[in-house]
Amino acid sequence: MIEKFMKMSTKQKILKLLDGRDYTVAELVGVLGLSNQIIHRHLKDLQNDGEVGKKGKMPRVFYFRKNIQQSRILESREFFQDKLWPKFSIKRKGKKFLDLELPSRKNKKIDFNFLLTASVLYSSNIEGNTLDLNSFLNKEVLSKQKKKEIGEIEDLREAYIYAQGKKISEKTFLEAHRILSKSLVSKNRQGKYRREAVGVFGSSGLAYLAIESDLVVNEMSLLFEQVAKLLEEKMTKTETFFWAIWLHLMLNLIHPFSDGNGRASRMLEKWFLAEKLGKDFWYLQTEKYYWDNLEKYYANLSLGTNYWEVDFKNAKSFLGIK
């Protein structure tokens, strides 16, 4: 075996090593006895050939064989099911989701169109839109400078209305993103997965690095395979809330679009609730709850510094369990 390995080219040796586990450049240098520059050159060629990917950030950057490690979807679902669901089911037993009241059709005073508008406005506010409900409802008197912000809210509302008449699938989800992102990104990026690296930045710089762009399509395909299975399963209301939160979190972690990820994740959470529990769940004011608890919301979405090193145990805070 050693003789066969020694006869391999440097690229073949690197691939053979990566079949066993992930390596840093320094580790490959130590094993192969080659210079840092040579290892980097071969890794760059293997990345261009689509055979090797990298994860993490300096100084802890790891290289992996793409046909060995390409997804965390199943890992996350199993962890949520085995480790987090038992605690969530006890903690939330008999309680309302986020302690919110579901609006009743029996109450003739409730304006459901107003509730939908409030939902999309608060979701937009979370992303930096400055309009409040009163301003948006009186948008005719707003200045032209507010036209883009008005468009963002109207586009998101149109996407919610579209989703209300459709079953969840990857195709309908992408169409919903196309609609909600019309004021956010160029036309060739609307309803399309990103082709560039995306990070989330905080006051001190890069706070989170999403999955590599060339792995987004595969990861989203696997995510929606799980969505299809979840939609077929019989669930209690508590279970439905639990998996809606999982979808919200995973979509945020993947960050599949160049923009509109937060809006899309909150919409998908509600879409899942409504498809499983009834259309009135479109009017549950989850977005307002997140807006009212914005600092906590962002803190609870932070599960790690990059997609491959996310610790799913940290999702307990978002689930409201200890």
CATH of residue 9: 1.10.10.10
Place of tokens 């008005």: 150
Q: Are residues 266 and 230 in the same domain?
A: yes
CATH of residue 125: 1.10.3290.10
Q: Are residues 15 and 48 in the same domain?
A: yes
Model's pTM, two decimal places? 0.79
The better pLDDT of the pair 98, 190 is held by 190
Q: Are residues 137 and 17 in the same domain?
A: no
Q: Which of 43, 65, 87 is the last residue of a domain?
A: 65
Structural domain count, the chain: 2
b/e sequence 200-239, b meaning 16+ C-beta within 10 Å: beeeeeeebbbbbbebbeebbebbbebbeebeeeeeeebb
Tell which residue, 159, 133, 189, has the closest CA to residue 264.
Answer: 159
Domain around 18: 2-65
Residue length of the chain: 322
Q: Are residues 203 and 272 in the same domain?
A: yes
Q: pLDDT tens across 226-253, in order? A: 999 999 999 999 999 999 999 999 999 9
Q: Are residues 91 and 234 in the same domain?
A: yes
Q: Are residues 190 and 286 in the same domain?
A: yes
Place of tokens 């945020």: 252
Q: Which of 13, 39, 65 is the last residue of a domain?
A: 65
Distance of CA 165 to the CA centre of its chain: 23
Per-residue pLDDT at 33 exceeds 70? yes
Confidence of residue 199 (pLDDT cuts 50, 70, 90): confident
How many Å is the maximal CA-CA distance in the chain? 81
Q: Are residues 16 and 113 in the same domain?
A: no
Q: Report the alpha-carbon distance of residue 155 to residue 240 in Å, rounded.
A: 27
Q: pLDDT tens across 284-301, in order? A: 999 999 999 999 999 999
Q: Are residues 161 and 272 in the same domain?
A: yes
Output the average pLDDT for the chain: 91
Q: pLDDT tens across 111-149, in order? A: 999 999 999 999 999 999 999 998 898 888 777 778 999
Q: Are residues 47 and 163 in the same domain?
A: no
Q: Which of 65, 94, 114 is the last residue of a domain?
A: 65
Q: Are residues 48 and 134 in the same domain?
A: no
Q: pLDDT tens across 160-175, in order? A: 999 999 999 999 999 9
Q: Are residues 80 and 15 in the same domain?
A: no
Helix axes 216-232, 261-277, angle to 10 degrees: 20
Q: Are residues 51 and 78 in the same domain?
A: no
Measured at the alpha carbon of residue 220, what is the angle toward residues 219 and 225, in degrees to the nearest 5? Answer: 100
Q: pLDDT tens across 35-85, in order? A: 999 999 999 988 887 788 888 877 789 998 876 556 899 899 999 999 999
- Tell me what percent of the residues of the chain surpass a pLDDT of 90: 66
Average pLDDT of span 99-116: 88
Pairing status of strand 52-57 against strand 205-209: unpaired
The better pLDDT of the pair 97, 268 is held by 268
pLDDT of residue 67: 60
Torsion, CA 318, CA 199, CA 117, CA 143, rounded to 10: 140
Average pLDDT of span 303-307: 91
